[in-house]
Amino acid sequence: MATMTTVAGMDVMGTRSRSRVASVSERNRSLFEVQRRNRRGPTPEVFFTKHIDNSRIVKADDPERRREMRTFAMVMGVLFMLVMVYVWQHFAAIEVGYHVEAQKSQVEQFREQNRQLRLSEAQLSDPGRIDKIAKQLGLDSPQPGQVVRPDGSDANAPVLAQAGSASLPSY
């Protein structure tokens, strides 16, 4: 009989085990009832609360223990402060590293921009290009007497050579 199960010599499902159980929940319910009946002892397990009044107990003062606890607290405080200083320095170093890297990338960006500007300046100040644009606009080389300087001097007048202070090129 494959449908019968016994626990400690007793029939688990009683007379109902011989017939097929309609559902798993009925089978589980019946197993729980059999287990509840087969528990050891005639009395159920009961726990009682025990109220203890410690209000009249006075703790004895131990000066040696208090001194040990103060020393321990101070050592732990100093250790905590050392750890916090280390952590602060570590994070500050990381922050400075990020700042340095940002400055390096900004310097590289400025160098590239400077290179682009020098290249465009060289292209725009090319004498051949300027001459070509001037001819397209109908401009020609200036005729004698056509150039007027802002200081009022004549452009075609002879210029007296003057000795100035010689400057050495710096390398």
6: helix, coil or strand? strand
Between 95 and 163, residue with greater pLDDT = 95
Model confidence band, residue 6 (pLDDT cutoffs 50, 70, 90):
very low
88: helix, coil or strand? helix
Tell whether pTM > 0.85. Answer: no
- Contact by Cβ (8 Å): 18, 4: yes
Give me the pLDDT at residue 45, please.
Answer: 65
3-state SS, the chain, equals CCCCCEECCEECCHHHHCCCCCCHHHHHHHHHHHHHHCCCCCCCCCCCCCCCCCCCCCCCCCHHHHHHHHHHHHHHHHHHHHHHHHHHHHHHHHHHHHHHHHHHHHHHHHHHHHHHHHHHHHHHCCHHHHHHHHHHCCCCCCCCCCCECCCCCECCCCCCCCCCCCCCCCC
Per residue in 81-135, pLDDT (tens digit) is 999 999 999 999 999 999 999 999 999 999 999 999 999 999 999 989 998 999 9
